[in-house]
Structure 1
Amino acid sequence: MSDTALIDDKAKKAEFEANKLAKRLRHHVGDAINDFNMIEQGDRVMVCLSGGKDSYAMLDILLSLQKSAPIDFTIVAVNLDQKQPGFPEHVLPEYLASVGVEYRIVEEDTYSIVKRVVPEGKTTCALCSRLRRGILYRVADELNATKIALGHHRDDILHTLFLNMFFGGKLKAMPPKLVSDDGKHMVIRPLAYCREKDLERYAKVKQFPIIPCNLCGSQPNLQRQVVKDMVNDWGKRFPGRVESMFRAVQNVVPSHLADPRAFDFVNLKTGAVPEAGGDAAFDREEFREPATDGETSAEAPRRTISILDSRKPSAVAGGEACGG
């Protein structure tokens, strides 16, 4: 094969993979919008654009879906210029004008406030987030926006889950759709089903003009970064684990947790109708053996696993089934 033919072949493969990636992301965003009824007829969606890969991808995909959606909705892109030193003010206006979307750049010097209030060495995320949220809510009112779209993805949701578990003592993640505390604004996260690594690849393919956040991105040892590294490590060492964890966020069984506010344990009586999820503590679970060379995972032999399997045969035969 000649060098020219080889280059053409690589280009075709790259184009094929890029198209497949774009379709997958549009599919994920479309599913999230449908599952949570994020966007409705006549909505005016305020897309919050930070200059990072996620918000660029969100805007790009929503603009694409808008063209084929069975409903009519409008999009206005909003960037909050927080007056960080060295922030390239020209990048976003030039990009937004090039894609033909309505936009507004909001200038608020939250950078000086954060640097003045937060002691040196402390993380700035909490205060910065509160200030930014308040400004965006105000701008949403000014623009008559009915939905506020944020660029948090599936990995962000899982990271928030673990942050709340480890440091907040709460089983709480980041919902794909929520109403603000004052009840006036609806916040949506269209990227809720999207993987961060897919968004990273998409940003490279689309060549978005990424703007780094120098305010928080350079802070070492952030708890969120530690959790992110932990989840990424699990994903590399145990393929499928991250996907399983996200499915768990969508498959909650309150009767098998320990929050009396979420489930009425006090009035639970024998003879009641079993809860969904049931008492499956000793049910046998069926898994597939790892696929061997020449066979697919679907062809791999099945084996049945039970927590009783690790006990001595005599104990199982004796009928003792009390779990610790």
Structure 2
Amino acid sequence: MDAVASKTPLTEAEQKAKHGLDKLSKRLRHAVGDAINDFGMIEQGDRIMVCMSGGKDSYTMLDILLGLQKSAPIDFEIIAVNLDQKQPDFPEQVLPDYLSALGVEYRIIEEDTYSIVKRVITEGKTTCGLCSRLRRGILYRVADELGCTKIALGHHRDDILETLFLNMFHGGRLKAMPPKLVSDDGRHMVIRPLAYCREKDIERYAALRAFPIIPCNLCGSQPNLQREVVGQMLKDWDKRFPGRLETMFRSLQNIVPSHLADPKRFDFKGLATQDAPFEDGDTAFDAIELPAQSPDHPFAAISILDSRDRTGGCH
């Protein structure tokens, strides 16, 4: 008998699952790498605090960053941080066991924000606002204590689009969630490495990697959150009109202030005619080139604007 036993060959189903995981992992790594490069998220010598909630997004973020750390042309440190908010029945050992097995440096911070939120917020009201403010303040403090130069959060592309619509619908602002920002006090840099990643890819990746997901009993008990409503709207659009979310996200990277209506962002009062072509002058009136759509597509009825539309003669 050979000294080295031959490995049992993978079944067809196992081979298919492995191929799917490899392909998905490559896609997510590229998306995270592109976001890091586009926004200058990570620099030589950074010490990055990766915030771990126990959800699919933070597990995926840590997993991808650890992989990139091994192949990146620069050196940076990673420390995983979980804030134990003392929610009832929170499985305290899940994250320590997982992180210890990985061999990654980590800290578990215990702060009873759950009791504060339940005491302050009236039953039935949304808890997210206060919860996020308390959590953010604690994480900023911990980042200072640990000497971290960057704070990595697990928000993905769909979270960014949800925030855009929430601000439009309820705040009257054209504002989303940036991939990189400086905190209000100017002392902390927050990055979102999953900014280019689709939620459905993260969900599938987390399932294939069998991450030990921890549900949030605080916000998870609020089924009528406006974010959930908007999230369901986006999922419906993505299912019915493939590619729409990708196009909407690209619009966040192709902003034309002269064709919006904010006089603080564009000098409309000082606008004057000139004897030379004006960039983006009247292109807002050009027909949008749309891919072939089915008759029931909501954009199918849009026709090319004629000259009367361009001169304002027809509305």
Q: TM-score, normalised by structure 2?
A: 0.90
Residue 251, structure 1, aligned to residue 254, structure 2: yes
State whether residues 259 and 284 of structure 2, in contact with CA within 8 Å, keep that contact through their aligned partners in structure 1.
no
Change (3 A) 1:278 1:70: farther
**Given the alignment, which residue of 141, 145, 155 partners 1:142?**
145
Structure 1 residues 214-229: aligned runs within 5 Å: 214-229=217-232
Residues 151 and 191 in structure 2, CA contact (< 8 A), matched pair in contact too: yes
Greater displacement, 245-254 / 176-185: 245-254
Matched with 2:7 is none
Residue 160 of structure 2 is matched in structure 1 by: 157
1:307 is aligned to 2:305: yes
In structure 2, the CA distance between the partners of 1:288 and 1:157, relative to structure 1 (3 Å rule), is closer
Residues in 1 aligned to 2:314 and 2:185: alpha-carbon distance in whole angstroms: 46
Q: Which residue identity is paired with 1:264? A: D
Q: 1:260 aligns with which of 250, 260, 263?
A: 263
How far apart in 1 are the matches of 2:197 and 2:211? 18
Counterpart-to-counterpart distance in 2, 1:246 and 1:65: 24
CA distance, structure 2, for counterparts of residue 253 and residue 45 of structure 1:
34
Deviations 1:97-142 (A, max 9, x none): 0111100000000000000000111010000000000000000000
- Residues 13-49 of structure 1 deviation map (CA, whole Å, 9 limit, x = unaligned): 2211110000000000000000000000000000000
Task: Answer yes or no: is 1:74 the counterpart of 2:93.
Answer: no
2:193 aligns with 190
Q: Aligned pair in 2 of structure 1 residues 167, 290: CA closer, same or farther (>3 Å)?
A: closer
Deviation at 1:203, TM superposition (A): 0.4
Deviation readout 1:72-104 (Å, 9 max, x if unpaired)? 000000000000110000000000001111000
* CA drift at 1:321: 5.9
Amino acid at match of 1:51: G
Matched ranges for 1:199-238 at <5 A: 199-238=202-241
**Alpha-carbon distance, 1:287 to partner:** 4.4
Q: Give the conservation status (yes or no) of the 8 Å contact 1:153–1:191.
A: yes
- 5 Å-filtered alignment, 1:43-62, equals 43-62=46-65
Cα separation, 1, equivalents of 2:99 and 2:288: 52
**TM-score, structure 1 as length reference:** 0.88
Q: Equivalent residue of 1:122, what SS?
A: coil
Structure 2: tracts of 5 or more residues without a match: 1-9, 295-301
Equivalent residue number for residue 271 of structure 1: 274
Q: Are 1:103 and 2:106 an aligned pair?
A: yes
Q: Please tell me the root mean square deviation across aligned C-alpha atoms, in Å.
A: 2.0
Q: CA deviation at 1:240?
A: 1.0
Q: Does residue 242 of structure 2 align to residue 239 of structure 1?
A: yes
Aligned AA (2:157):
R
Name the amino acid aligned to 1:31.
D
Q: Aligned-pair distance for 1:281?
A: 3.3
Query: What secondary structure sits across from 1:212 in the alignment?
Result: coil
In the alignment, the residues of structure 1 paired with residue 278 and residue 225 of structure 2 have an alpha-carbon distance, to the nearest angstrom, of: 40
- Percent of counterpart pairs with the same letter? 72
Letter in 1 for 2:90: F
**Unaligned 5+ runs, structure 1:** 1-6, 292-303
The aligned counterpart of 1:113 is 116
Q: How many residues align?
A: 299
- Residue in structure 2 matching 1:27, options 30, 38, 43: 30
